[in-house]
Structure 1
Amino acid sequence: MTPFKKTILFIHRWLGFISGLVVFIVSITGCIFCFQDEIQDAIHDYRKVEVQNKPYIAPSILKTEALKGRKGATASYIYYYGIGRPAGVLVNDKKEGLLYVYQNPYTGKITHTESPTSNFFIIVEYIHLYLLLPANIGGMVVGVSVIIFVVLMITGIVLWWPKRKTDRKRSLTIKWGGRWRRVNYDLHNVLGFYATSVAIILAITGLSIAFDWVREGIYATANLGKAHPEEKAVFKSDSLLKGKVDTTQIINKAYLAARAGSPNAEMFLIYDDEAKAGAVGVTAYAKALHYYKSDSYTFDKYSGKLLNRTAHEQKSPGMKMNNMNYDIHVGQILGLPGKIIAFLASLICASLPITGFIIWLGKRKKSKTKKVKTVVHRRTVRQHLPADR
């Protein structure tokens, strides 16, 4: 091995020790989360409703029903998840904390209420994002570990790269008939090579969730450095109208306007900012439970006036890239095949710290054995040497 590759191996090995446990946890939880929608649809009846030939009831009714009997509670987020799916209201209750209140979107009847801390897949998501640590600490630990993992993937490719073209075929296959240590070695190198391109994409999209500077970097790169100040503008309501007008129907008006503006959208998110100058935002998603293609609307919370509309087609490449971040990260940007690819890549990533550690243990034991044999050999030779006269 050349001095260069010895240096790369040293870096690869110690970075693996530093980040291995976190990479394993993040990767294995990523595997589990890939198919969370499909699994939850299969096991939870409340995620489905009978489709009725009539429009959804108004968001104000959903909000009122969700807050009924919860004194002092607030609800800023209202979801219409799509045809055949429930509506949901995110309630912030002083006693019980955050609650998801699911309702029939045609009748307003509450079908299920749950705390995020009781949903298995939300817990898995929190582990994936924060290791169940405080968000600012856990997010940093995960983010730094993922950055290290990207370096590991690059150094791994350098170490794997065969010297001769004739060795490439051997380097791309696993020798299943070999000894278990050889199979483990091939699993680490060959599967690592095949997973690298997908794993780096998953890592970058994950870093975009963890760090604003990554998200801004993707935005700037996709836009080729061109600024789009209109996309970062913050719109505010006319706070002078507070208390002078009846605002109870504003979210209904905003929802209907967004529905008319995006008639083919399947899913809607309504956000009612509680701040004095806050606005009502509505996001219309083209496909249920997919977040890439969407139109966004902003309304004055007192007058209902449309302050801004940004259609998907009007968005810059950078904004589109950031909007598709989640769908890329879980693989659903390519549908079921994409989820399978993301699942397999995450599973391989989870195996790499294990197979790598086994390789290191094997080499360590081999090194100790060589030392013992050398010492024994020297002693034996000395015993047979003639004595000095």
Structure 2
Amino acid sequence: METGKIKKRGWATHQQRWFGKWHLYLGIIAGAVLSLVGLTGSILVFGDEIDRALNKELFHALEQQKRYSIEEIAAIVPQKYPDKKIDYVYLPQQGNPNITYVCYNFANEEQFFINPYTAELAGKRLYHSSFIGFVTELHTNLLISGWGQYVVGLATLCLLILTVSGLRLWVPQQYKKWKQWKSVLTINFKSGFKRQNYDWHNVLGIYSAPVVVVLSLTGFAMSFGPVFIAFLFMLTGKSPQSVQEVFNLKSEWVAGAQKLSPVTAAAVAKNKFPEAVLRGVAYPVDKDGAYRFDMSSAGVSKEGNRIMVGVDQYSGKVLLNSETDFSNIANSYLTWIVPLHLGSFGGMPTRILALLGGLIPLALFITGFIVWWPRFKKQKGKNRAVPPRPSKDETLLQAIKALAPGPYFAFYFKRGIKYGAFLLVGVFLSGLLYGLLSGILLQPAVFSVLYTGISLIINFMIASVVFIAAYLLPLLFRSSYKPALKYFSLSFSLLLLFAPFVAAIALLSKHLF
């Protein structure tokens, strides 16, 4: 059969073969996990406020005449409480005179709350035993230490595929008449339960797509943070190993050297960025370690720009300045990734959107299951009957599989370009719409394209390995030869489409962020 005829295959059949199956099986497999992760994520959008409301006695101190600065607290606490091991001191909320300082012991997740006016211990707790600590662990790793975060990361990737495939299933079924568009953009409350449920599934998926796309992308990027940061460094010509070198700060120790106090070391960091606010102090881990100061300055994001400064604990030499040692595109990861995921980059409007976006996977899982279950039972009964004759579309699909490697590759390469164009426009518009209410449009849109592009680079590397294996191990992969070629072809086309945009973002990052 000629390729020209194959190209006329209708979208409906294509959806059943590709996006329909991906949407169905991923929804069944990952739906429950995504519902849990989304629900806990919605709680964490206002997690700080909830934590402070539930533990007012820990976070609240009566305002007095003189409030200690965070570096003064960092100097006083180890002397006043030598039996407490403290790794980090943090200011939970900027601009609140009643807020206490929080000291962390990372080894056992113990927190100490320090009165900012008296430096007295206001209370302590194990973070993972608190409500917000439990929700955070559930959201980030499903209470499974180690590899649990990667399960969550893959689940968020599934959420992205579910959203994109759901839109692709929905769009081609619509026609030019407004009446038909209106029927899929609204809910007919006069119809029966099944129809209303189907309408809810479509409408919720369509209107929530911009937010869910960004949440899933940033969630995936956070779960596989080291990989994404390494790629961001590579985009500016640095090796992945340079990431470790940047964070593995070492002070130059000499015998008899006196350790600088947190106040003196903090003065070095504040001298570098006089307009920034000091939010956290990390103590040197040992005699070779260094101070790390976390600061924030005004920026496009309502959360501000995050700055990291590393200081030699003996000489006061600046060992790390994230504004200069990180490229603009890598430094933007520090500033934007968490605010985009929690919606805090745009203030209350985007936080509410992020909260609602977290509830969507549960709603779609329930409505989708109600749609699927009757069909599954009906299909189960059909399996006992005599199989029907192959349809015309099925014959076309078989003809595609019978193509020689060259035409087969070309066929799916062209399909991949179409899919990539749809994906590129979709993720860019998602970012724009996510930030629309806050007036911050460009950065969410650019990050959406960037994170999608990096994900597709990683995907192409995996596809290349599968493709090579399919050729080098023909006995093991004989039956998977064509699927491997199709996967490689689609991945290659997506990479070629997104690569110029990723490169442009890297080059223009100074102006974009």
- Shorter-chain TM-score bucket reads 0.7 to 0.9
SS of structure 2 residue aligned to 1:107: coil
Over 3 Å counting, the alpha-carbon distance change for 1:149 and 1:10 in structure 2 is: same
Query: 154, 167, 177: which is aligned to 2:190?
Result: 177
Q: Is the 8 A contact 2:307 2:323 kept in 1?
A: yes
Residue equivalent to 2:366: 354
Residue equivalent to 2:206: 193
Residue equivalent to 1:91: 105
Distance (whole Å) between structure 2 residues aligned to residue 9 and residue 154 of structure 1: 11
Over 3 Å counting, the alpha-carbon distance change for 1:125 and 1:312 in structure 2 is: farther
Find out whether 1:63 has 2:78 as its counterpart: yes
Any stretches of 5+ residues in structure 2 without a counterpart? Answer: 1-10, 387-513
Q: Deviations over 1:50-89 (max 9, x none)?
A: 4445352511212333x44x3xx53221123444221111
Q: Deviations over 1:312-371 (max 9, x none)?
A: 998603321342111111111111111100011111122111111110113235557899
Residue equivalent to 2:321: 309
Distance (whole Å) between structure 1 residues aligned to residue 13 and residue 109 of structure 2: 56
Distance (whole Å) between structure 2 residues aligned to residue 107 and residue 192 of structure 1: 52
Over 3 Å counting, the alpha-carbon distance change for 1:321 and 1:292 in structure 2 is: farther
The structure carrying a bigger strand percent of its residues is: 1
TM superposition shift of 1:2:
2.6
Over 3 Å counting, the alpha-carbon distance change for 1:178 and 1:369 in structure 2 is: farther
Calculate the TM-score normalised by the size of structure 2. Answer: 0.63
Amino acid at match of 1:333: F
Distance (whole Å) between structure 2 residues aligned to residue 291 and residue 214 of structure 1: 24
Over 3 Å counting, the alpha-carbon distance change for 1:160 and 1:91 in structure 2 is: same
Residue equivalent to 2:150: 140
Query: 140, 154, 170: which is aligned to 1:129?
Result: 140
Residue equivalent to 2:55: 44
What is the percent sequence identity of the aligned residues? 27
Over 3 Å counting, the alpha-carbon distance change for 1:108 and 1:297 in structure 2 is: same
Find out whether 1:160 has 2:160 as its counterpart: no
Over 3 Å counting, the alpha-carbon distance change for 1:301 and 1:264 in structure 2 is: same
Q: Is the 8 A contact 1:172 1:190 kept in 2?
A: yes
Calculate the TM-score normalised by the size of structure 1. Answer: 0.82
Q: Is the 8 A contact 2:31 2:361 kept in 1?
A: no
Residue equivalent to 1:272: 283
SS of structure 1 residue aligned to 2:316: coil
Over 3 Å counting, the alpha-carbon distance change for 1:368 and 1:215 in structure 2 is: closer
Over 3 Å counting, the alpha-carbon distance change for 1:25 and 1:145 in structure 2 is: same
Distance (whole Å) between structure 1 residues aligned to residue 353 and residue 67 of structure 2: 38
The structure carrying a bigger helix percent of its residues is: 2
Find out whether 1:238 has 2:252 as its counterpart: yes
Residue equivalent to 1:381: none
How many residues are matched?
358
Amino acid at match of 2:153: G
Over 3 Å counting, the alpha-carbon distance change for 1:300 and 1:148 in structure 2 is: same
Residue equivalent to 2:38: 27
Amino acid at match of 2:124: T
Residue equivalent to 1:327: 339
Distance (whole Å) between structure 1 residues aligned to residue 206 and residue 308 of structure 2: 40
Residue equivalent to 1:383: none
Distance (whole Å) between structure 1 residues aligned to residue 231 and residue 176 of structure 2: 36
Amino acid at match of 2:23: H
Any stretches of 5+ residues in structure 1 without a counterpart? Answer: 376-389
Over 3 Å counting, the alpha-carbon distance change for 1:338 and 1:144 in structure 2 is: same
Residue equivalent to 2:430: none
Amino acid at match of 1:200: V
